[in-house]
Amino acid sequence: MFDPINSSYSKGYCLSFNDDTKWWITGIGTAISRVNELTYIMNLKECSYNNTPKLIFIESEDFQTNDNDLILSNNGWYQYSYWNVNIWYHTSCPNVLCEFIDQKNKETENFSPEYMALWFSLQPIYRQNIKNKGLPFHSALLELDGLGILLAGIGNIGKSTCCNRVPKPWKALCDDESLIVLTKDNKYFVHPLPTWSDYISNRARNSWDVQYSVPLSAIFFLEQYPEDEVIKIDAVESSMKITQSSAQVWAKFRQKDKGWKQIDYFRDTFNNAVEIAKQIPAYRLRVSLTGKFWEEIEKVI
């Protein structure tokens, strides 16, 4: 029987965030190749076995040997299913098991189920982030003079275009998803996350330094407009927009996360958004096709 609590592992990678959340990511058998790919994308380094919570990858064909699913179900483990990944949690152990279901028959020139599975494997990280008073966020992350600026918006609103347009000394850290964390001294920092569509659609092989973080200075909600303009919004409007932006990231998970009821998800997300809005200024950012929108940002940060 495979024991996710007491098994020993030969190889693993460390992942840590600025709220002191730590994970040790490892794999069983051939699943270590998935770990290697994930850690390339997230720019993680191999590290020694340690006592931090473990995110353990295993292939379904290996996992089903000796009826492991039945054995785990009778020993405090419970399962969530997300298309091609089963996530197993334990009632008293922080380790999480990611069981990958082979979907190679669904692979096409423009779609990779392998990377969809890796994206879903981050569910425990997003979930813990929300429980720690942070939020996953549908946004680009820019850095200027050591400060983090989020550009939030729905798909095709212009996040990637804005990242490509900003001049030095501006830096674009990511263009699709970010992770807001609350530090122990009640400061908000933000980490870049991968643009998973680059991999799922077989567009590019980029990597992101997800352990790097910057203090969150301001949030800008993008609007396409003929002229560049920044408009301050109050905390009430900001709370609602922050909630919506986070929900866009979590939407792929919450419908099947029956253990964490949807009402709990919305409550926790909204409460976290309210606290972020109290501390972090937010604006509507109207962006034209040819203007220097970053100069409007510089006026208010």
Is 96 a residue whose pLDDT tops 90? yes
Cα dist from 219 to 49, 159, 214, 279, whole Å: 38, 13, 13, 11
pLDDT, tens only, 26-58: 999 899 999 999 999 999 999 998 889 999 999
Task: Calculate mean pLDDT across residues 128-148.
Answer: 98
pLDDT, tens only, 3-32: 565 566 779 999 999 999 999 999 998 999
Q: Taking Cα atoms as reference points, which of 116, 276, 292 lies closest to residue 194?
A: 116
Backbone angles phi, psi at 140, to 5 degrees: -85, 155
pLDDT of residue 122: 94
* Beta carbons within 10 angstroms of residue 184's beta carbon: 8
pLDDT, tens only, 51-94: 899 999 999 887 765 455 545 655 788 888 887 899 999 888 89
Mean of per-residue pLDDT scores for the chain: 90
pLDDT, greater one: 4 or 196: 196
pLDDT of residue 1: 46
pLDDT of residue 4: 61
Query: Can you list the domains of the chain with their CATH numbers?
Result: 12-121 (no CATH), 135-298 (3.90.228.20)
pLDDT of residue 260: 57
At 221, which helix (H) or strand (E)?
strand 214-224
Rounded distance, CA 14 to CA 59, Å? Answer: 21
pLDDT of residue 94: 92
- Tell me which residue has tokens 């122990």: 184
Percent of the chain with pLDDT over 70: 89
Burial pattern 17-27, b for ≥16 Cβ within 10 A else e, equals bbbebebbbbb
Rounded distance, CA 236 to CA 255, Å? Answer: 26
